Amino acid sequence: MTPDAHTLLEFKNVTRRFLLPQGEVTVIEDISFKALEGEFITIVGPSGAGKSTLLRMMNGLLAPSSGEVRYNGVTQKGINFETAMVFQNFGLLPWLTVSQNIELGLGARSKDAAYRKSQVNRYITKVGLEGYEEAYPRELSGGMKQRVGLARALAVEPSLLLMDEPFSSLDVLTSINLRNELLDIWSDRDNVVNTMIMVTHNIEEAIELSDRILILSNRPGKIAGELKVDLPRPRRKRDPLFSEYVDRVFSLLA
Amino acid sequence: MPLVQRSVLEKSKSSVIYLVLFTGLIFLLVGVYKGGVRLSELKADTVFLPDLPGAIFLSLMRMTAAYCASLVFAFTFGLLAARSATGERFILPVLDILQSVPVVGFFPAAITFFIGLTHGHRIGVELSAVFLIFTSQAWNIGFAVYESVKAIPVENEEAIMSLGLPQSQRFLNLYLPSSIPRVIYNSILSWSNGWFFLVACEIIAIGPVKYNLPGIGSFLARAAEEEKLNLVLWGIAALACTILLMDIFIWKPLQIWSERFRQDATANHDEEDIGIFLELPKTIASRLSFLTEPLLDILITFTAPVRWILREVILPLCWDLPVSMVSNLIEEVAKPIRPVLLNSKRMRVAIGYFALGFLAVLGMFYIWNWFKGPLPVVIRDIPVGLFRSTLRILIALLISFSWILPLVYLTWNRPRIRHHLTTLAQLGASIPATALFPLIVLVGVRKLGGGMELATLVLLTFGIQWYVLFNAIGGASSIPNDLIDATKSYGLNQWKTFWNLVFPAIRPALITGAITAWGGGWNALVVSEYITVKSEVYRVEGLGALLSYAVYDLGEGRAITLCILVMVAWILFVNLLIWQPLYHQNLERFKLSS
């Protein structure tokens, strides 16, 4: 990453509070950070630290209580159409087929039916779901469902891809495969999307995938530390340097 | 048979608070009418058998119109309640109260508004009949939409939001499909509820004014009035056939179709087991699917352009555009005061209480003015009437329990017999009990001289026993097999098994049945305590009869208001203080987690 890389996303003193029955709770407190174009960032932290809240503010699903979220230097309001999101439990609509689910987001962006169709086909191929176009989500395995979720996000050709624990409801083998494919998509120059931000609770996953790890502290969520991962890809867990990174993340979490 | 599945129970806590609001509502409904509207009558000729097909057709049209209005109402307010906290706080209690107001209670509003507006034109009378049917169909569908939208998994909603789809697309892709299973299920209940009250809705009478609309409901009532027993029987048969055919050709295919819109693959067994679902029509419907499915396909193909225009042109123009304009406007206006509003919860609470207090004071002032003059004498009978009516419902409940419990004892471990029994019971329940009322009065009271008190009890029991029966059967059929095997393996005899396993296991279901019967019973009571046959009034002493009397004979706004107020308050009060604790206590002790 060159130091003068373009800043895609910027959080400036962002705080988020929620009104709960037991009173007002601050989930995110005064967080500032930048995401550069082309970066792969992971966010780790204990459960309840506000990782998902942070991600939802990047997409615009949630607005900050104070502070601002800037995208390409512009303060964001409402849903950011330049981003797309992948969910832990896929968020697929059970009454739509695979193609219809993928086309859903395109409908908000393009009136051109032919373009939508070609995008759907392109990304169905990209995630390896050929032949399942007319299947319903309930007929698919977990891994395939997440491929649909990924294709739906990629099909709108976002410049920033947001992922909320995308592999945590999948079995180990499936998630290894999908992680590798995700890295391929990230490094593939043909794709519009080259910046990714992912929330995870799996520290090894964070080290394996990302350029930079943001570590959140618990309630209220603040950035407890930041770690650049300078390991050549593909990264191996057996590598002693890898274990060293694991230890450093753990020490930052504690 | 009315089966308002949604009990008043859960939401009644907040309802009490909104009784103040409710008072205002009633005044709006009744207050404008002060007996001043006097309109020409629609002359009723004597009934003949050839009138029957036309009567059925007209009633169907009325029911359909009311049902469409109910759907629009349900989606509007169900969505509003589910999507905004403020909406939830206001709409739910109001819906809850509205669903415990007996249909007859809406008469003054219907008369004043629709008939007064059209100066007694036929269209006005038709509209008020449709409105009255609507009041028996709409509320539970509203709750169905609310519950469905509330039950949408958070991630699915976020996924739709994160894609930035406009509001109308979110509705079409998420809220509408999610609501379909529950809405269809509740539509079936609403239709039987509508049939139940059709008799009351097609003869619109208040004080000296009376309208007869041609339809199956008035056909039955008038045939009974003229003592044409064979016409009453023909009418009941025709009605039963219509209901059965609709079940086979419309509701069962729709229900099968709605399964695909469930969030999870497994069906909700509560909804499967309880209710008016005829197993027979279901089999017939699936046998006929070779016929109904292509029909559905043709329908889908032909409506495609219409749906396209709706989706791409009408909805964006008529929904999303105004919504975005209004929300932008609100944004602009609210900008200066927003920080104050957002940051101070106390401020909002204060404003809310101020508004409520203002309404309450206004309401009190209104009531004071309205009730200043000498009150009608009938209101003195209200306490006694309330007591007697309550007793009547409790006796009807006891009668129901006294034949249903032995039935469960005999059939709980004989699935085949239970299956046939369910089919039979569902057939019986699908005939609206109100249609039988004239028959029972004609034969039981006039010919056999059985006395009106007994007739009312029979009618009432007919109206409410199904709630208990279907809940009991549903409860008994969901007892896990391993528990049954366990009791068998210890060699418990039939009686001991029933006492130690079956009875405790079905207790929550029995209480649910009793609660629904309690709510529905009052509504049935209004129709069954007071009947006119051959221009002769048959009535017993009771709150339902009082209300009918106040509406049909007196047409006195204050008497009507007081009757409705007392009735609704009593229903909610008993729910809150007796049924609700009883239910929760039983659920905790006897819940079967399987």
The residue of chain A nearest to residue B261, with distances taken between CA atoms, is A95
What pLDDT shows up at residue B32? 45
| Cβ-nearest to A79 among B164, B260, B265 | B164
Taking the CA of residue B432 and the nearest CA in chain A, the distance in Å comes to 35
Question: Which residues of A fall within a CB distance of 8 Å from B164?
Answer: 78-79, 81, 105, 108-109
Whether residue A27 is contained in a domain is answered as: yes
Mutate to test the interface with A, among B156, B160, B162 (most CBs of A within 10 A): B162
3-class SS at B206?
A: strand
| Cβ-nearest to A87 among B155, B173, B265 | B155
Angle between helices B176-202 and B122-150 (to 10 degrees): 150
Whether residue A211 is contained in a domain is answered as: yes
Whether the per-residue pLDDT at B2 is higher than 60: the answer is: no
Task: Report d(CA B517, CA B503) in Å as an integer.
Answer: 19
What pLDDT shows up at residue B282? 60
What pLDDT shows up at residue B275? 36
Cβ of residue A81 closer than 8 Å to a chain B Cβ: yes
Q: Where are the beta strands (DSSP E) in B90-215?
A: 203-206, 209-212
What pLDDT shows up at residue B271? 41
Cβ contact A89–B162 (<8 Å)? no
Cβ contact B158–A85 (<8 Å)? yes
Going B217 to B222 to B224 to B230, the CA torsion angle's sign is negative
Q: Pick B590 or A1 by higher pLDDT.
A: B590
Global confidence as pTM: 0.78
What pLDDT shows up at residue B390? 92
Residue A207's CATH number: 3.40.50.300
What pLDDT shows up at residue B37? 38
Band (B78; pLDDT cuts 50, 70, 90)? very high
What pLDDT shows up at residue A196? 92
Whether the per-residue pLDDT at A42 is higher than 90: the answer is: yes
| Cβ-nearest to A91 among B159, B169, B260 | B159
3-class SS at A214?
A: strand
Band (B553; pLDDT cuts 50, 70, 90)? confident
The residue of chain B nearest to residue A92, with distances taken between CA atoms, is B156
Band (A89; pLDDT cuts 50, 70, 90)? confident
Question: Which residues of B fall within a CB distance of 8 Å from A109?
Answer: 164
Surface-to-core class of residue B125, CB atoms within 10 Å of its CB (0-12 exposed, 13-18 middle, 19+ buried)? buried
3-class SS at B294?
A: helix
Whether the per-residue pLDDT at B342 is higher than 70: the answer is: no
What is the 8-class DSSP label of residue B201? H
Cβ contact A91–B161 (<8 Å)? no
Whether residue A153 is contained in a domain is answered as: no
Surface-to-core class of residue B113, CB atoms within 10 Å of its CB (0-12 exposed, 13-18 middle, 19+ buried)? middle
- Return the CATH number of the domain spanning residue range B12-302+373-590: 1.10.3720.10
What pLDDT shows up at residue B5? 37
Whether the per-residue pLDDT at A100 is higher than 80: the answer is: yes
Task: Report d(CA B308, CA B318) in Å as an integer.
Answer: 15
What pLDDT shows up at residue A44? 92
Give the tens place of pLDDT for each residue, A67-76: 999 998 898 8
Query: Which amino acid appears at position B224 of this protein?
Result: A
Band (B276; pLDDT cuts 50, 70, 90)? very low
Cβ contact A89–B169 (<8 Å)? no
The contacts of residue A191 (CB under 8 Å, 6+ apart) are A154, A157, A185
Of residues A153, A145, A137, A161, the one with CA closest to residue A55: A161
Q: Domain of A75? A: 7-82+194-253
Across B339-361, average pLDDT = 71
Taking the CA of residue B56 and the nearest CA in chain A, the distance in Å comes to 37
Highest mean pLDDT of the ranges A74-78, B251-255, B365-369 = A74-78
Give the tens place of pLDDT for each residue, B297-324: 777 777 778 878 887 778 777 777 887 7
Contacts 24+ apart (CB under 8 A), B109-116: B109/B28, B109/B29, B109/B30, B109/B33, B110/B204, B111/B33, B111/B37, B111/B204, B111/B206, B111/B209, B112/B32, B112/B33, B112/B37, B113/B32, B115/B37, B115/B39, B115/B204, B115/B211, B116/B33, B116/B37
Surface-to-core class of residue A142, CB atoms within 10 Å of its CB (0-12 exposed, 13-18 middle, 19+ buried)? middle
Give the tens place of pLDDT for each residue, B568-589: 888 888 888 888 788 888 777 7
The contacts of residue B121 (CB under 8 Å, 6+ apart) are none
Of residues B441, B434, B438, B439, the one with CA closest to residue B462: B434
Across B167-195, average pLDDT = 86
Whether residue A21 is contained in a domain is answered as: yes
Task: Report d(CA B302, CA A221) in Å as an integer.
Answer: 55
Task: Report d(CA A130, CA A21) in Å as an integer.
Answer: 48
Task: Report d(CA A210, CA A228) in Å as an integer.
Answer: 8
3-state secondary structure B351-368: HHHHHHHHHHHHHHHHHH
Give the tens place of pLDDT for each residue, B382-430: 889 899 999 999 999 999 999 999 888 888 777 777 777 776 776 677 6
What pLDDT shows up at residue B591? 67
Cβ contact B162–A104 (<8 Å)? no
What pLDDT shows up at residue B592? 60
User: What is the ipTM score, two decimals?
Assistant: 0.81
Whether residue A154 is contained in a domain is answered as: no
Whether the per-residue pLDDT at B74 is higher than 90: the answer is: yes
Band (B24; pLDDT cuts 50, 70, 90)? low
What pLDDT shows up at residue B33? 46
Question: Which residues of B fall within a CB distance of 8 Å from A119?
Answer: none
Residue B220 CA: distances (Å) to CA of B61, B224, B302:
17, 6, 39
What is the 8-class DSSP label of residue A221? B
Q: Pick B403 or B186 by higher pLDDT.
A: B403
Domain count, chain A: 1
Q: With contact defined as beta carbons under 8 Å apart, do A86 and A164 qualify?
A: yes
Give the tens place of pLDDT for each residue, B454-493: 888 888 888 888 888 877 887 787 777 777 777 777 777 7
Taking the CA of residue A6 and the nearest CA in chain B, the distance in Å comes to 24
Q: Pick B289 or A249 by higher pLDDT.
A: A249
Q: Pick B405 or B327 by higher pLDDT.
A: B405
Question: Which residues of A fall within a CB distance of 8 Å from B162?
Answer: 59-61, 79, 83-85
Question: Which residues of B fall within a CB distance of 8 Å from A82?
Answer: none
Band (B77; pLDDT cuts 50, 70, 90)? very high
Average pLDDT over chain B reads 77
